[in-house]
Chains A and B, each alone.
Chain A
């Protein structure tokens, strides 16, 4: 081997020409519409620039023109892999604003729905990590289970994806016996499928070689970039809104917050995997401890009365009319409420001026905030690792662009 003097190496480095590669906005490997303009040195990424906004839908402006109960469908479309969490977060924000007292039973029902949604979201993310490493089988197994979660949603609210579950104040109706049966069935069958998925990937040497050390981020940088959710926990920070500021009676349940150490793709994968197991535990506890009581709070200004009463009682008719026409008055105030969404702290900053619509509604969208770290995370890695890093970050275009 000939010795090359450092001068020549430096000289070559100056002369080096980089390739510019345009990844996206509709590249099949990006799982959503993000554009990344990569500066490549052969197969190595030297620099990257992200462009977002390809499905900007103006949620915040739209929310300023809608009565409170009509904002729920907008929140569905934020992180559409786990829309129930977004719905519940919004309902809880409004309940905090109006000071509603929520029965324990509603809290527990919400916990069940939210944890199901978390599982559904993590299934998408982890299955897609599998697909990107070439393991399509896991995707097929887990998506079959995801259909069962959809079936449970359908029993509760009638919709599959954009669920619109619940109302401000609680649920429109109690869970039917069939729903309970389906949840029980899911709790029995899903752990088996999850174990099968785990055995396919967790100790698979090809998979491990592919994802360990891929797209790492340190805890310090992650915090500086405003990471939350599984991505932050994979970097080793045990911040979880469910524990830090418990909402919806999360303090009643016993569960573990899994944390990683390196913040690489493998850690993110494993954290999500463990969270699914913990979610199952939470659902089981909520079912065991389910209290008796009404399935909604006593907030006639926001919660639609029974149809029977609307036909027969004057008061109910008035409330019904006021809610449907969006003429309910709310207190003046500013409230911030956050829930642990499937990919981080999902916050709602609501300013009410007492009118029928919010004066300003700002969503703290976890994806939007942590996706800006993407160029830093992929610098110096291979192109195929960049794809994996993106899928393991669980970036959802609808939430990112709002």
Chain B
């Protein structure tokens, strides 16, 4: 999506369907997508500076609760969205991968900041040069650290993905093949 065209971010739009007195019929995909979109439970995997900006995003000024994501799930089992914020060192890599594996499907990954995306300015022997070397990533947020507005936009992009995702995607052979590339069964 280019910067110029503005995405239409309205919350909880009614999906297409057939409507009459007392009933509304739509496909399961759309109903589930709507529910998933507006109740993402993020797992904040905050390691460094970006974590502080995330705290600001959660605070009263920017208020992530407006987008249905205020319920932080510190347990990977109940989380939908893994938010990786901050530098991931090589020592941390296996931990991150384990957490990703523990999360239940469907799951999305948001990669916040330059360090998590590419290693950033830390092109050093101890830093993992981008978390996409070990786990698949859905949305990258650039910045060092990104502003809270950017974090919110990243979450909105994740919402779009969750909203439009087919219910069968996670069972497809392509998805399995993609996970296998990362060595995840």
Q: Which A positions have Cβ atoms within 8 angstroms of B?
A: 25-28, 32-33, 53-58, 61-62, 73-74, 76-77, 80-81, 124, 139-140, 143-144, 146-147, 150, 160-162, 397-398, 401
Contact = CB atoms under 8 A, between A and B. Distances in A.
Contacts of B127: 57-58
A80 B124 CA distance: 19
Contacts of A73: 121
A146 B55 CA distance: 11
Interface string B42-53: 001101110111
14 contacts: A32-B51, A33-B47, A54-B89, A54-B95, A55-B47, A56-B89, A57-B124, A57-B126, A57-B127, A74-B121, A124-B52, A160-B147, A162-B145, A397-B48
A27 B44 CA distance: 10
A27 B76 CA distance: 11
Interface of B: 44-45, 47-49, 51-53, 55-56, 59-61, 72, 74, 86-89, 91-92, 95, 99, 121-122, 124-127, 144-145, 147
A54 B47 contact: yes
Contact of B91 (A56, A58, A161, A398): A56
A58 B45 CA distance: 21
A58 B126 contact: yes
B49 A161 contact: yes
Contacts of B52: 80-81, 124, 161
Contacts of A401: 89
Contacts, number: 90
Contacts of B144: 162
A57 B91 contact: no
Given A53-B89, A76-B49, 7 more contacts: A28-B72, A58-B124, A146-B59, A161-B49, A161-B52, A161-B145, A162-B49
Given A54-B89, A56-B91, A62-B122, A143 B60 contact: yes
A161 B18 CA distance: 50
B33 to A, nearest CB: 29
Nearest to B96: A26
B96 to A, nearest CB: 8
A77 B145 CA distance: 10
A397 B120 CA distance: 18
A150 B61 CA distance: 12
A400 B47 CA distance: 12
Nearest to A397: B48
Nearest to A139: B59
B48 A77 contact: yes
B108 to A, nearest CB: 18
Given A57-B124, A160-B53, A161-B49, A144 B89 contact: no
A93 to B, nearest CB: 20
* CB-based closest 6 A-B pairs: A28-B74, A58-B124, A143-B59, A80-B49, A147-B61, A398-B48
B59 A140 contact: yes
B56 A146 contact: yes
Contacts of A160: 53, 56, 145, 147
A55 B86 contact: yes
B145 to A, nearest CB: 5
Given A81-B52, A161-B53, A162-B144, A55 B61 contact: no
Nearest to B148: A160
A4 B127 CA distance: 57
